[in-house]
Chain A
Amino acid sequence: MTLSHSHSVRSFLGPVRAVIATVIAAASLAPGALAQDATRWGPKESASSFGWRFDDLFMLIVILTGVSFLIMMVMLLVPVFRDKARAGHKASFDHGRSLHDKRFTAIVSVIVFIVLDAWVLVVAMRDLDEGFWNVPGPGEAPNAVRVQVLAQQWAWNFRQPGVDNKFGTPDDILTLNELVVPASAEAEGNEDWFAGRPVVLNLSSKDVIHSLFLPEMRVKRDANPGAINRMWFTPIRPGDYAILCAELCGFAHYQMHGKLRVLSPADFDAWEAEASAMALAAYDENDAGAQWAWDWQE
């Protein structure tokens, strides 16, 4: 279609028809989308003590942006219908340069900032402060399950201190791409942030930046070479969960995943005892090159 015909294009895509077409398209797609397994569209259910805060924040953002999207749409559509050209009425155009319009824009901006950005920011900072960044310090969580995580291209090395609860000893439990931790049902909805057995991680990397992502625990943190980062969460329900790498780290990044096995406390104790015994059987004190534990960072 050449430029000289553009006016017919414009009339075809006239605002009213465009809106109708959009609505029809959306309506015809929606049932298909809704018919899909609902879990495919959202994250899997949270399984950690403060994971629900992430979900709440997510919902808050969806609702706030959704509502303001609707308001914007109404504000756009009303003039389109009200002020269009028709018999006895000429379409009016306005560049919004009057003082009244500028004041209106300013007020809307302030409201959007306070209601959307500031609200979300305050909630997010509170959640981060009380949850994600609130890694238990010395003595704050004596029951904590401590794990050293050494990332590499393309695998996760996990080290747990074993029954003696000391790192760098022969009974350290070493696992690859599989982390086993106990569930703490009592941590769910508990006032005490460190109720039960929080899992505290020290993260580092051998080569490039990786990122340990435990989607069902609602936590994710980078593992950087030469540094030790910390992260924590308290699993509340036994089950198998995902371990992913969330930082593009090379060709086989997509294969860098594993399994987080959350066991009941009794099962975990049994597992830990057996895994420690197995670790002792595998330990070779003369193999200096195989030792990689570091001093625990509180």
Chain B
Amino acid sequence: MLNLLLIPLGAAALLTAALATTDDETAVDVSKRHERPPHDVQLIIHEGTRLLAADADDGHDEEDDYAPALFARLSAEFPNRFTEDDEGIFRDAWPETRDGAIVWDDENECYWEVVTADRLTRGRQDYVQFCASCHALEGDGFGRSGVALRPPPRDFSQGLFKFTKVNSEKLPDDAALLALVKGGLLGTPMNEWDISDERLAEIITYVKSLSLPGDEDADGSTGWRDPYNQIAGVIDASDDPWTDDPGGAIEQGEGLYHKYQCYTCHPAYADAARTDALRGVEGSGTYPDDHTYPKLRKDSSYTVLDYNVAILPPDFTWHDMRRGNTVAEIYQTIAGGVAGAGMPTWKGAAPDEELWAIAYYVYDLAETYKGNDAQRAAFMRSIR
């Protein structure tokens, strides 16, 4: 019977010999920084830290204050944990050494969250496992798998975020980041991360701890170590004013999209004459050649090897929107803006009802034309 056994072995040997004739070996060029060898990977963090939990009641618009929302949520979870003193400052009953304690900082007038070394270590270890191939062991975005990737994996020391659906002038809260990482970013390798909420929360804490030390004079945001930053939650999208009249919203949205000149970055979806009509101006003259194309933004705040990476505003009939699956999500992105990419925060700059109408219009553009090549080609021919 032994010979029967030998047959598959012989065949396997033959096949292996045949397969061993591989093609030419040619190395793919990669920039040096991505090639840092993973020596001495630090997996244990010995020191805890403090991260910004909420800004003080700064007397601005009350609606914008994050502290009341934070303490309402925490108090619901742990009744009797907080006491409010005469000055309206919340005092935590938990000792300052306990993980998750909220500490008031008198000097900087802000609240810090206590993060223990244990929590950071757990977050770090999961981060190394799941996120480091792109965002790098150091968190600076130079992972092996991030070579030549555009958009580049985020450098977390920047404390800048694009699609959290939070007012882009502020830092996203944990819930916003959790939803972002769980949802992924369509059209990038940033996947829908299917990790339990508790572990993801620890990863996010670790990611937040990568922000640079705060500095009052710093250019732009420096993340959760900067007491002068503000935190906000996801923009509320519960009161859609157009539920009864989506058709009307789309029609008005088309006008507003061109009136607010979204086409200075994104494409215009109308020829010159119609753009004028939609804007309500007469014979403004000519528009540039790339009127109906997206225009590359070269002034982004996202840098790779000291180069400010250019970012293309999407053509909604062609490109994927990162997080624009519903009208409400698109409304939130338009209202919040895209930090560091040049896309402004529109909330406050235009009435909510108009922003919703634009969102309906953008959603309809993607619904109608994206992936329907023939229909899109006919439409583009009609405006180019």
Which residues on A are within 8 Å of B, measured CB to CB? 105-106, 109, 112-113, 117, 121, 125, 128, 150, 152-155, 157, 176, 204, 206-207, 225-230, 250-252, 255, 263, 267, 270-271, 274, 277-278, 281-284, 286-292, 294-295, 297
Contact = CB atoms under 8 A, between A and B. Distances in A.
Nearest to A275: B318
How many of chain B's residues touch chain A, expressed as a range?
Answer: 35 or more
A259 to B, nearest CB: 10
A105 B27 CA distance: 52
Contacts of B22: 227, 229
Contacts of A154: 145, 189, 191
A152 B149 CA distance: 10
A206 B129 contact: no
Interface of B: 1, 3-4, 7-8, 11, 14, 18, 22-31, 129-130, 133-134, 144-145, 147-150, 187-189, 191-194, 290, 293-296, 298, 304-305, 307, 309-310, 312, 315, 318-319, 373-374, 377, 380
Contacts of A105: 1
A293 to B, nearest CB: 10
Contact of A289 (B14, B27, B31): B31
Contact of A281 (B7, B129, B290): B290
Contacts of A287: 150, 304, 307, 309-310
A121 B293 CA distance: 55
A295 B144 CA distance: 21
B296 A206 contact: no
Contacts of B144: 153, 206-207
A170 B188 CA distance: 20
A154 B134 CA distance: 9
Given A207-B144, A281-B293, A284-B298, A229 B23 contact: yes
A228 B304 contact: no
B318 A278 contact: yes
A252 B30 contact: no
Contacts of A153: 133-134, 144-145, 189
Contact of B4 (A109, A225, A274): A109
B4 A112 contact: yes
A121 B14 contact: yes
Nearest to A135: B23
A284 B296 contact: yes
B307 A288 contact: yes
A227 B148 contact: no
Given A277-B293, A281-B294, A292 B307 contact: no
B26 A270 contact: no
A109 B3 contact: yes
Contact of A267 (B25, B374, B380): B374
A172 B350 CA distance: 39
A281 B296 contact: yes
A292 B148 contact: yes
Contacts of B189: 152-155, 176
A206 B147 contact: yes
A137 to B, nearest CB: 12
A155 B318 CA distance: 20
A255 B129 CA distance: 16
B28 A117 contact: no
A113 B10 CA distance: 11
8 contacts: A228-B23, A251-B130, A274-B373, A281-B294, A284-B296, A289-B31, A289-B307, A297-B26
A290 B373 contact: no
Contacts of B309: 284, 287, 290
Contacts of B4: 109, 112
A134 B29 CA distance: 28
A252 B191 contact: yes
Contacts of A284: 296, 298, 309-310
B373 to A, nearest CB: 6
Contacts of B30: 206
Given A121-B14, A176-B189, A229-B23, A270 B373 contact: yes
Please list the 5 inter-chain residue pairs (A to B) with the smallest Cβ-Cβ separation, ordered nearest first.
Answer: A155-B189, A292-B148, A284-B310, A152-B145, A153-B133
Nearest to B189: A155
B26 A294 contact: yes
A117 B293 contact: no
A281 B298 CA distance: 12
A203 to B, nearest CB: 9
Contact of B373 (A106, A125, A271, A294): A271
A277 to B, nearest CB: 7
A152 B134 CA distance: 9
B369 to A, nearest CB: 12
A283 B133 CA distance: 25
B145 A270 contact: no
B148 A290 contact: yes
Given A289-B31, A290-B148, A282 B25 contact: no
B317 to A, nearest CB: 10
Q: Which residue among A157, A270, A281 has the maximum number of chain B CB atoms within 10 Å of its CB?
A: A281
A173 to B, nearest CB: 12
A206 B28 contact: yes
Contacts of B145: 152-154, 206-207
B304 A289 contact: yes
B112 to A, nearest CB: 32
Nearest to B310: A284
A282 B307 contact: no
Contacts of A270: 373, 377
Q: Which residue among A152, A225, A274 has the maximum number of chain B CB atoms within 10 Å of its CB?
A: A152
B188 A176 contact: yes
B253 to A, nearest CB: 23
A228 to B, nearest CB: 5
A190 to B, nearest CB: 26
Contacts of B29: 292, 294
Contacts of B310: 284, 287
